[in-house]
Amino acid sequence: ISLIGSSNTASGGFYSISENYLYTVEAFMDFWQHLSNGGKLGITRWLKFPPREIVRLCSISLEALSRMGIEKPENHLAIIRSWGTSTLVLSKKEIGEEEIRAIKDFCDERNFDTVYFPGIKEEEANRSRISRIGQI
């Protein structure tokens, strides 16, 4: 799901009067149920300061997986970002070492940042762009 509904209530302004049910716990539960056993869902959002949409998507994802009885829902998520976008990947299977290596390689080749994957270490996150007050 790439940048669909990018102007929404979290953004304010004119678009705050529109409704979008694409990014709800119930919708994520539906998405999950439609994934194949090895399936993945990628959701890309514009990066805004302070980062809030990707945090909201993480919260929605974790709640949806918890409601469905998934143990360790945090092991089914990965987040990467570029200069302008953040992408959350929701994986039907737990994200393993091979997939983590692929995520790191993808990010290294494209100068993206890894934000989160299962077992991430502090020094592995946000290597290209370090957030500071007033900067990204």
Q: Which residue has the tokens 């890309």?
A: 44
Q: Indicate the number of domains in the chain.
A: 1
pLDDT reading at 123 higher than 80: yes
**pLDDT the model gives residue 5:** 54
Helix 53-67, helix 25-34: angle, nearest 10 = 60
For range 113-127, the mean pLDDT: 89
Q: In the numeric block, which tokens belong to residue 37?
A: 């056993």
62 assigned to some structural domain: yes
Give the C-alpha separation, 6 to 59, whole Å: 17
134 assigned to some structural domain: no
136 assigned to some structural domain: no
Its domain, for residue 19, covers 13-124
pLDDT in tens, 52-95: 788 899 999 999 999 999 999 999 999 999 988 999 999 999 99
- The model's pTM is 0.80
Which residues make beta-bridge pairs with 113? 81
130 assigned to some structural domain: no
132 assigned to some structural domain: no
135 assigned to some structural domain: no
